[in-house]
Every structure is written in structure tokens, then in C-alpha cells.
Amino acid sequence: MTDLEKNTLFTEVYELLDIFNEYTPIQRDGVFIVDAVKLCYTQMIDYIVKDLSEAANLKDWLDKTDFWTAPASTKFHGNFKGGLSIHTLMVIKQSLVFAKPMLENFFASPEGEKYTITAKDIFISALCHDFCKTGFYSIEYRNTKDITGNWVKQPFYKTKSDNRNLGHGNESVLMMLEIMPSIIHNRMVIEAVSRHMGFSDLSESESYNYSNFLMNPLVILLQTADQTASQWYGL
């Protein structure tokens, strides 16, 4: 990457972070404001996705699916209404926060000249990494006793039975490509979304060449952002 490309990358990264900080959709204590969350997404997409048709498709898909209301899991991070959108936004934030120190370190390595990375690549990878979780959960009820000893119906999330057999990351890649076909030419983003789960989402045969994916700095960045969003913040 040229110095100009690097400057553009980090300038746009900080512009996206400024949007997040302006709306403060997620507080330090984990409290989130639904309207601010949606507005933050909209402003980020409008800023970084220059193709107006592509941006419109993306925002339309978010509204037509249960992205805003689905949980991020059944019993771990983000296992509450709206958890998927909150977790995803936190992954976006973490990706942007870690982008400069991680990528500056990478650019200084012997491999640094092999890749060109944009702020849009970072944003889209983080945004799309868990798209496969839309339409994936249902609400069911179990009988439990409340504090007074009375039986009540307690709601809980359960994964639906479906035929998604390609793995967590690859299913999200397919959905991403349906919404944004131009990404088919962006191998870095495809690899990042496909492999953001690390070894936990690989078949035995795929694990043999996994080290090759770690040469892609976007894979490492997204994995780090996903893990810290889940573990540090529980979102």
C-alpha cells in the first residue's frame, strides 16, 4: 500500500469511530439505545459504502430480516432481544479500534506489501460476519417457578432446525454475496468472514491449510474484534 492509501485507510477508520462516538449507541455498562444503534448503522453505511445501490440493498436487508431483534446466541454473548445487532456493532467498533495498531505492525512486516486494505473492507467484514444468525433462532417457553414458587412460562431462545451445512462463516459469506455481489472480487473480505471463528468452524480437511488464512491481516483483525466484543463486553 502507498502512504496515501494508508492515510486514507486510517482517516476513514477514525471517521467511522467518530460516528460511533457521536451517537454513543452502547454505553460502557452495556446499556444500549435502540434508536441510536440503528442511526449509527445507517450513518456508517452511508459514509463508507459509496455505491448508492449497494448501500440501499444493505440497509433494506437489515430492515427486512430480524437483524434488529434476533439474539447473537442462545445462552452466551448477546442472548437477548436485539443481541445480534448490538454484538455486531461492538465487533465493528473493536475492529476500528484495533485497526491502526494491528495494521501498522503488519505493514512493517515482510508480508506488508502483499495486501491492500480499505476501511470499507474492515467495516463490511465486521458487519457481515454473523449474518447467518438472522432467521436462525426461535422463542420457546419452559415451565419455571418464580420467586413466589408459582409456575410461570419462561421464554428462551432456541436454534431452529435448518439445513445450513457450510459452517458459520461460510453461510455468512453466502448471504453477504447475495446482498453485495461486488464482494465476490474481494478475497480478503471473504476470507475474513469465512474464517472469523478460527479453528472452531473448520472441518478436519480445512484445518490443514488454516495457517494460510492467517497471512490475511483482516482475518486476524476480525477474530480479535469478535473475541473481545464477546468476552470483554459480553456483547
Q: What is the pTM of this model?
A: 0.89
Q: In which residue are the cell numbers 465493528 written?
A: 92
Q: What percent of the chain has pLDDT over 70?
A: 90
Residue spans per domain, the chain? 3-231
Categorise residue 149: left if φ over 0, alpha if ψ from -120 to 50, beta otherwise.
left
Tens digits of per-residue pLDDT, 150-174? 878 777 667 876 666 777 889 999 9
Query: Which segments of 79-193 are extended strands (E)?
Result: 137-145, 151-159
Q: What percent of the chain has pLDDT over 90?
A: 60
Question: How far apart are the C-alpha atoms of 12 and 80, rounded to whole Å?
Answer: 32
Tens digits of per-residue pLDDT, 29-85? 778 888 999 999 999 999 999 999 999 999 999 999 999 999 887 777 778 899 999
Cα–Cα distances in Å, from 102 out to 95, 128, 150, 184?
10, 21, 53, 25
197: Cα separation from own chain's centroid: 11
Length of the chain (residues): 235
Cα–Cα distances in Å, from 134 out to 12, 60, 84, 157, 178?
28, 14, 8, 13, 14
Pick the closest to residue 199 from 214, 215, 216, 182 (CA basis): 214
Contact 123, 183 (CB under 8 A): no
Question: Burial level of 113, CB count in 10 A (0-12/13-18/19+)?
Answer: exposed
User: pLDDT grade, residue 5 (50/70/90)?
Assistant: very high
